[in-house]
Amino acid sequence: MTVFFAPLALLPGGWARDVRITVEASGAIAAVQPGATAEGAERLPGITLPGLPNLHSHAFQRAMAGQTERRSPPEARTAEGGTDSFWTWRHTMYRFVGRFSPEDAEAVAAQLYAECLEWGFTSIAEFHYLHHQPDGTPYADRAEMALRHLAAARRAGIGITLLPSLYRHGGIFGKDPVPGQRRFLNDLDGFWRIVEGIRAAIAGDAQAGLGLAPHSLRAVTPEMLRALSGFAGPIHIHAAEQLREVAECLEATGARPVQWLLDNLPLDARWCLIHCTHMTEEEAARLARSGAVAGLCPSTEASLGDGIFGLPAYRAAGGRFGFGTDSHVGISPRDEMRQLETSQRLALRQRSVATEDANPWPGRNLLEAALAGGAQASGRPIAGIAAGQRADLVVLDPDHPALFGREENEVLDAWVFSGQGNPVTQVVAGGRVVVREGRHIHAAAIAAEFRAALRRLAA
């Protein structure tokens, strides 16, 4: 057993002082005791929060962050409607993925996961579609690239839900893929071989889970979706990210993407619909009633010009949501929460949108939504500081300039909405200390391998 002592901690029932957290060797919390002593325990140096789940990641895109901001060439803009957009960005991404080796994928993922831990994400859902060699030929082990992400997660110490992505087509429904997509493509038989390879690799590993990720209505057929829909664990799919996607779905099916999914599949608490940027209020209410999670990635959605999620209608309907970092132009849970709330303020010309009279603190509301929605979408016991959950703890420095003098819920508002520095000082993931004094314990070695991978990719 390992025992931690938190002078102040946010528990499922609210704030508590002098909290003794007993952790089993497996990394699960055995007991949580407020009003206890620190005798024999490792003292957590600050304000302890539950670690947050990152519910949407394409790890390889961490190596692209900052490299796709320049104006696209005229010919690329002309081919995609005349302006820079998600669709012109996608062409750049296709060129980039042609260079990745398995070693590069592991090095980039390890860097990303270490950075996520330093900012307070203690688990990640890896929506993985970079499966094959550059010419599309499968590796000898079809799960090779997925297993590289598992190795990176184990090295960094982050919890992971691997979401191998089924990707077969280039448009709704059944259009031919383009050459840049050849590394992504599988038929159902090849896809299930990847799934089984991952299942074998994570057997007995409490820090790892498995789900499925039919990429989008652009990439799979209705028959493929039905074949995956009986899976017992998490199922993630991109939906309604772009207005063009909505228009194409309407033309092909007569329905909007979220509407089509609700009408044709057994959407329930297993499902996580990524983005949902362009939903009608009726779709938002139906999605909320289904029990599925909306996976929001506000920094990426802003970067790609996707649009602004309709938060008020979805929250009013009781919709569940969590946060991911997607293309990793941002890697902080604080920044994703801030971007969501401030984008609402800009769109609506209001303040404190993610609140109501009974719950007037946006920081706490967003954190608790992120925790509940992220845990559900990850399919792992990571829903807070409680017995039976993973020991995922994030410690904030109370003397950080953004937080000094703040108390309880004020701390969360200050963390989310104040300053640019990182007040995370220590992180525990699965019962193991992985960040001390704000720095990942293997940061230097992981960064050296990341730099070597970037040099190879740039050669």
Residue 320 half-sphere exposure toward CB, CA atoms < 13 A: 19
Give yes or no: 275 in active site.
Answer: yes
Q: Choosing from 131, 215, 275, 440, which is the catalytic residue?
A: 275
Antiparallel, parallel or unpaired: β 47-50 and 14-23: unpaired
What one-letter code names the amino acid at 451? R
Residue 58 half-sphere exposure toward CB, CA atoms < 13 A: 22
Rounded-to-integer distance, Cα 323 and Cα 416, Å = 14
User: In whole angstroms, what separates CA 237 from the centre of its chain?
Assistant: 13
Q: Choosing from 326, 335, 392, 397, which is the catalytic residue?
A: 326
Q: Which tokens hold the place of 286?
A: 């139906």
| CA-to-CA dists, residue 176 to 237, 256, 333, 349, 425, angstroms | 20, 21, 37, 43, 49
Closest residue by Cα to residue 54 from 330, 396, 364? 330
Give yes or no: 335 in active site.
Answer: no
| CA-to-CA dists, residue 366 to 173, 184, 277, 315, 416, angstroms | 36, 34, 18, 11, 9
Active site residues: 275, 326
